[in-house]
Amino acid sequence: MRLKLIEKRSPSWLRLLEVLAGVLVLVVAFFVLADSGFALYILAYALGIGLFILGVSRIFASVYGRYFAPWFREVNAGGGIIALVLGSVVIIDPQLAIGFLTLLVAFAVLVVGIVEIVAAGFAKHPPVWVRGLIGVVGVLTVILSVFLVLDSSLGQFGLAIIMAIVLVAVGVRDIAHGVSGHRPVKIDPGVVTKV
């Protein structure tokens, strides 16, 4: 027998909770834009604490995971120690993590720019003016990545903007889902239910 997906209305308390969560995330996004430095420190501390907890859990899994294969226990122990050390370093010096994340954003922007330039040079199907436009965008993107590396505050602001965009997307999604209140439910088409 095949199961069929239908949409069922979520309870009103759950819908209200989703809308409130979405609004809260949008407020956090506003604070990220208002004070990007504070937001990046929060991100760095959250990353450090997360790595620390992950490291401790992996070490415990390697010590107490008696049914794991020996090689898997060793991998857990090694990964746990690395995560524990990295988490401790980030908690002690959050600016190091912020600098690393800023460089990561700059590197990603550089890669995107290089890909655009290569696509403009080797693509044969778009018209010449489109390839030229792609090349200009690529060059501008590479220049932007250089500015992100040279001016760390610009890179940190870019990182905060990315955080804010993600938070806004999550907040809007939560609000929309809470307002609509639908969720998929599997039913057996042979069973008749009253709504």
Give pLDDT tens digits along the chain (195 positions): 555 555 556 678 778 888 898 898 888 888 888 887 888 888 888 889 989 999 999 898 888 877 778 888 899 899 999 999 999 999 999 988 888 888 888 888 889 889 888 888 887 777 788 888 888 888 988 888 888 878 877 778 877 887 888 888 888 888 887 887 655 555 655 655 544
Range of the domain at 174: 4-187
141 CB-near residues (< 8 Å, 6+ apart): 109, 110, 112, 113, 116
| DSSP 8-state symbol, 4 | E
194 found inside a domain: no
| DSSP 8-state symbol, 193 | -
97 CB-near residues (< 8 Å, 6+ apart): 43, 44, 47, 48, 90
165 found inside a domain: yes
41 found inside a domain: yes
Residue position matching structure tokens 């250089």: 146
| Count of domains forming the chain | 1
167 found inside a domain: yes
Q: What is the pTM of this model?
A: 0.59
Residue position matching structure tokens 């008696």: 66
195 found inside a domain: no
166 found inside a domain: yes
